[in-house]
């Protein structure tokens, strides 16, 4: 297959030999704006998914190295997980015909369901069973990660009338809405909320992941935080950070950095908010990233893998923090939806009764070895990551920019014919970093096979 015939984000992306997919892309472009999606040059059309794979309408098989952007940690459509979801909803034994039947409601706005209470209890018990989880006492459900982050910040702002300065780590991603959008990116972005101030996040630049395991000099970070105390004092309200910079280019800090931020919050009576929407449910190696990093958040924000494909998010934190909010301050239409709660219960069941985390740790070693091999090529500058979330930073080569190479790699993975094997990747992060994050359940032999395919594709791009 040749290169794609259109690259404009304002017109339909088209690929030769994909008549059905091209038709769907054209129809989508007519009725949906380009802004609905983050630009990905392949714009794959996914007709069905199973396990660690997608299939296009033409029957083309794509190994999923994105997990639907860190969502399908348990793989796509796992049978046992779906059976559990349906059982929790009371849909495991549907009656014949079109008559109404008794099952869980799918809408419960300003009402309670047994599923919501059970999911809240199970989630709190799960969090508190992990090192660093003892402060996590109540669940504030949300429909998206942005909403959950915003609710966490709202709770923090309610604590002291004189405290309204929000600290966030620079170049993080917490969403695009309201305060979640305000703490995303950096002070260079437009329309920044005046209450937000940004602090530095470690960005290790090296070809080997080993340097991340070396001690970090915390002096400049301590000095930066001390300067903020001198400037704002008791006005400091909360600090929002994430275990690793996902959207910012897959930077994974030493654990002592997050531990420094936690200590700082304790010393200044600030709320420590850890946004691990992209990191929870095994993605960084442990069930929750806070235990992997040895910190104890006041509020942790969960999502993506929490529902394994069903939209459900939550801010879970100290009961005394949420107690200062009034009726309605944290409500929305879909918070605690029965479908979302059923998905959370099924996900907890899988992680609590199977060896998925042990397998994920083995998979992590396979991925690290396969990706570090890419640094032999002139197209790759660095590899960064942990667990089952990695970033491959592309380098300039042959007169082309790093971003152009990153785009070429995505196109090659989607269009390249490597004995019928292809890899689904998304567009580059921060203009030049390709994220590699397959489902945690990918078989080790298949991971090795497709990492070899990835090496061939990168080598092909390197050769021009």
- The enclosing domain of 180 has a CATH number of 3.40.640.10
The gap between the terminal CA atoms of the chain, to the nearest Å, is 16
CB 424 within 8 A of CB 44: yes
Rounded to 5 degrees, φ, ψ at 167 are: -95, 140
* Contacts of 336 by beta carbon, 8 Å cutoff, 6+ apart: 108, 113, 116, 119, 120, 141
* Contacts of 186 by beta carbon, 8 Å cutoff, 6+ apart: 170, 171, 198
Both tokens of 443, joined, read 């078989």
Q: Do the domain assignments include residue 65?
A: yes
CB 318 within 8 A of CB 137: yes
Q: Do the domain assignments include residue 227?
A: yes
Place of tokens 């088209």: 14
Q: Do the domain assignments include residue 387?
A: yes
Q: Do the domain assignments include residue 85?
A: no
CB 433 within 8 A of CB 409: no
The residue among 380, 414, 420 whose CA lies nearest residue 66 is 414
CB 440 within 8 A of CB 392: no
Count of other CB atoms within 10 angstroms of residue 352: 12
DSSP letter string over 387-431?
TTEEEEEE--BTTB-HHHHHHHHHHHHHH--BTTBEEE--PPBTT
Q: What is the DSSP letter of 172?
A: B
- Based on the domain organization, do 270 and 386 belong to the same domain? no
Place of tokens 């960005």: 203
d(CA 412, CA 454): 9
Place of tokens 């691990």: 276
The residue among 140, 84, 87, 106 whose CA lies nearest residue 350 is 84
- Based on the domain organization, do 269 and 208 belong to the same domain? yes
Q: What is the DSSP letter of 206?
A: -
CB 303 within 8 A of CB 407: no
Both tokens of 302, joined, read 């969960």
- Based on the domain organization, do 264 and 396 belong to the same domain? no
Q: Do the domain assignments include residue 5?
A: no
d(CA 321, CA 137): 10
The domain total for the chain is: 2
- Based on the domain organization, do 208 and 312 belong to the same domain? yes
Report pLDDT for 17.
Answer: 81
Judged on CB neighbours under 10 Å (0-12, 13-18, 19+), 106 is exposed
Rounded to 5 degrees, φ, ψ at 54 are: -115, 160
For the chain, list residues with pLDDT below 70. Answer: 1-10, 97-100, 204-213, 397-399, 416-418
Which of 353, 376, 407 is the last residue before a domain boundary?
Answer: 353
Q: H/E element holding 53?
A: strand 53-55
Report pLDDT for 293.
Answer: 97
- Based on the domain organization, do 120 and 265 belong to the same domain? yes
- Based on the domain organization, do 275 and 399 belong to the same domain? no
CA 432 to the chain's CA centroid? 18
The residue among 379, 351, 355, 385 whose CA lies nearest residue 367 is 385
Q: H/E element holding 345?
A: helix 338-353
- Based on the domain organization, do 456 and 373 belong to the same domain? yes
- Based on the domain organization, do 63 and 180 belong to the same domain? no
- Based on the domain organization, do 369 and 345 belong to the same domain? no
- Based on the domain organization, do 252 and 324 belong to the same domain? yes
Report pLDDT for 98.
Answer: 63
d(CA 280, CA 367): 19
* Contacts of 385 by beta carbon, 8 Å cutoff, 6+ apart: 209, 250, 252, 367, 368, 371, 391, 436
CB 77 within 8 A of CB 50: yes
Count of other CB atoms within 10 angstroms of residue 334: 18
d(CA 142, CA 149): 9
Q: Do the domain assignments include residue 89?
A: no
- Based on the domain organization, do 128 and 246 belong to the same domain? yes
Q: What is the DSSP letter of 38?
A: -
Report pLDDT for 5.
Answer: 41
CB 281 within 8 A of CB 287: yes
Which CATH number does the domain housing residue 422 bear? 3.90.1150.10
Question: Three-class SS of residue 458?
Answer: helix
Which of 302, 326, 353 is the last residue before a domain boundary?
Answer: 353
Q: Do the domain assignments include residue 92?
A: no
The residue among 328, 274, 264, 261 whose CA lies nearest residue 152 is 274
Which of 292, 319, 353 is the last residue before a domain boundary?
Answer: 353
Q: What is the DSSP letter of 32?
A: S
Domain that holds residue 306: 114-353
d(CA 126, CA 132): 12
- Based on the domain organization, do 338 and 410 belong to the same domain? no
Q: Do the domain assignments include residue 104?
A: no
- Output the furthest CA–CA distance in the chain (Å, rounded): 70
């Amino acid at each position: 297959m040749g290169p794609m015939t259109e690259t404009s984000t304002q017109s339909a992306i088209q690929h030769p030999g994909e008549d059905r997919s091209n038709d769907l892309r054209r129809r989508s472009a007519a009725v949906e704006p380009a802004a609905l999606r983050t630009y990905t040059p392949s714009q794959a059309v996914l007709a069905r998914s199973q396990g660690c794979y997608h299939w296009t309408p033409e029957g083309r098989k794509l190994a999923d190295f994105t997990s639907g952007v860190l969502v399908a940690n348990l793989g796509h459509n796992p049978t046992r997980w779906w059976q559990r979801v349906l059982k929790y909803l009371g849909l495991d034994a549907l009656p014949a015909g079109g008559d109404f039947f008794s099952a869980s409601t799918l809408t419960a706005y300003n009402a309670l369901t047994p599923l919501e209470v059970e999911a809240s209890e199970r989630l709190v018990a799960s969090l508190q069973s992990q090192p660093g989880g003892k402060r996590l006492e109540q669940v504030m459900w949300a429909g998206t990660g942005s909403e959950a982050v915003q609710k966490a910040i709202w709770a923090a702002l309610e604590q002291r009338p004189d405290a309204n300065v929000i600290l966030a780590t620079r170049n993080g991603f917490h969403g695009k809405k309201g305060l979640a959008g305000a703490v995303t990116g950096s002070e260079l972005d437009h329309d920044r909320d005046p209450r937000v101030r940004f602090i530095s996040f470690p960005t290790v630049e090296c070809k080997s992941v080993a340097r991340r395991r070396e001690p970090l000099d915390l002096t400049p970070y301590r000095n930066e935080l001390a300067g903020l105390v001198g400037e704002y004092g008791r006005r400091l309200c909360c600090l929002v950070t994430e275990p690793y910079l996902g959207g910012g280019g897959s930077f994974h800090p030493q654990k002592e950095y997050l531990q420094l931020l936690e200590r700082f919050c304790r010393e200044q009576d600030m709320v420590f908010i850890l946004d691990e929407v992209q990191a929870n449910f095994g993605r960084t190696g442990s069930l929750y990233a806070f235990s992997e990093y040895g910190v104890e958040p006041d509020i942790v924000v969960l999502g993506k893998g929490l529902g394994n494909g069903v939209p459900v998010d939550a801010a879970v934190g100290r009961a005394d923090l949420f107690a200062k909010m009034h009726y309605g301050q944290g409500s929305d239409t879909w918070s605690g939806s029965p479908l979302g709660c059923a998905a959370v219960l099924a996900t907890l069941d899988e992680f609590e009764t199977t060896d998925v985390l042990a397998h994920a740790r083995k998979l992590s070693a396979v991925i690290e070895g396969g990706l570090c091999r890419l640094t032999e090529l002139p197209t790759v500058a660095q590899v960064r990551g942990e667990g089952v979330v990695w970033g491959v930073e592309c380098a300039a080569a042959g007169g082309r920019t790093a971003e152009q190479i990153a785009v070429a790699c995505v196109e090659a993975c989607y269009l390249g014919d490597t004995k019928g094997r292809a890899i689904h990747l998304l567009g580059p992060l921060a203009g030049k970093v390709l994220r590699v994050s397959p489902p945690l359940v990918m078989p080790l032999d298949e991971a090795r096979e497709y990492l070899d395919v990835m090496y061939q594709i990168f080598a092909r791009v390197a050769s021009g």
